[in-house]
Amino acid sequence: MIRSFASGCRSDLAGSTSRFASLRRSLRRRLAAVGRVALSVASVAALSLSATAQDQPEIPALTPAVQNGDWWMPRHEQKLAEKEQAEKIDLVWIGDSITHGWEGTGKKIWDEKFAPRHSLNLGYSGDRTEQVLWRLQHGEVEGIAPKGVVIMIGTNNTGHRQDPADQTAAGVRAIVAELRQRLPEAKILVLAIFPRGETTDDPLRRLNTDINALLAEMATEDDGDGDMISFLDINASFLADDGTLPKSIMPDLLHPNEAGYQKWAEAIEPAIVKLLGE
């Protein structure tokens, strides 16, 4: 079922807006929890119905693509080699510059907390959902059997193009479907996209919040085993009581500094323990 969704995602988008609205209302009625709960592949299909009508162009968030930067493909080749050279890989991290930053600003914390757990960092600065899809389809998780996968992706869909929330969410769901097909034994943890912008009224913050709401809204259903896919929102760990994002945590109001990476590591630790069965 998961594979058929991943291969048919674009054709599903041809459904009518009214059909999507009906499905969304049905999903809302069944919403029973927020936070770390099972994600639904059935919900993903319903979400993707809203993206375009049949005669509209393909949705970028769902169309696998490479980045244009001359550093990007060498990093892909490096990660393929790193994967092959590793004795074992138990935990895979997938994302954009924020995940990539575990190799820079967050390296000390990574080396203490996650490197000993045989982690592979597949974060690429500037990536959107479509680059992650391309990477998964070009070998980055081939031939490995991790216990867990952590995903956080989508803030560049917001920042680069202001993609509609439902399109970015559909891209995240397609990534989950790819992972379930390619790594059927791995537990998947989808993180809410981190806050950006100084205040809750920041337009890009609000768009990320809308994406996260869609992910949480779909979190009451799963493809059969609710223990394999989960969702976690740790954003409150970074914010002041009034919702302000402190520059002491994210100096550019987007990327964590070392203190921010420390907060991330602390907030996610219980979930990592569960992913790895520690």
User: What SS3 state is found at 175?
Assistant: helix
Cα 48 to Cα 155, 188, 235: the distances in Å are 18, 20, 25
Kindly report the length of the chain. 278
Among residues 76, 90, 97, 225, the one annotated as catalytic is 97
CA proximity to 174, closest of 67, 91, 63? 63
Measured CA to CA, the distance from residue 184 to residue 203 in angstroms comes to 37
In the predicted structure, residue 206 carries a pLDDT above the cut 90: yes
- Could you tell me the residue range of the domain that residue 264 belongs to? 2-276
pLDDT (0 to 100) of residue 170? 95
What's residue 224's pLDDT?
56
CA distances from 162 to 14, 52, 53, 97, 208 (A): 22, 16, 19, 17, 10
Q: What residues are paired with 190 via a beta bridge?
A: 151, 231
Lowest-confidence segment of 12-16, 86-90, 126-130, 131-135 by average pLDDT = 12-16
Q: What is the pLDDT of residue 227?
A: 82
In this predicted model, what pLDDT tens digit does every residue of 62-79 receive, in sequence order?
999 999 999 999 999 999
pLDDT (tens digit, 9 = 90+) per residue, 120-136? 999 999 999 999 999 99
> E-strand spans in the chain?
91-95, 119-123, 148-152, 187-191, 229-232
Q: Residue 237 above 50 pLDDT?
A: yes
CB 123 within 8 A of CB 98: yes
Domain count, the chain: 1
Model confidence pLDDT, tens digit, residues 143-172: 999 999 999 999 999 999 999 999 999 999
CATH number of the domain within which 173 lies: 3.40.50.1110
Mean predicted lDDT score pLDDT of the chain: 84
Task: Note the pLDDT of residue 186.
Answer: 96
Give the pTM: 0.82
> CB 152: neighbour CB atoms within 10 A?
23
pLDDT bucket at 225, cuts 50 / 70 / 90: low
Closest Cα partner for 89 from 190, 189, 183? 183
Selected catalytic residue, list 55, 70, 227, 252 = 252
Instruction: Say which residue the tokens 């069944």 belong to.
Output: 30
pLDDT for position 6: 38
Identify the pLDDT of residue 23.
40
Active site residue 255: yes
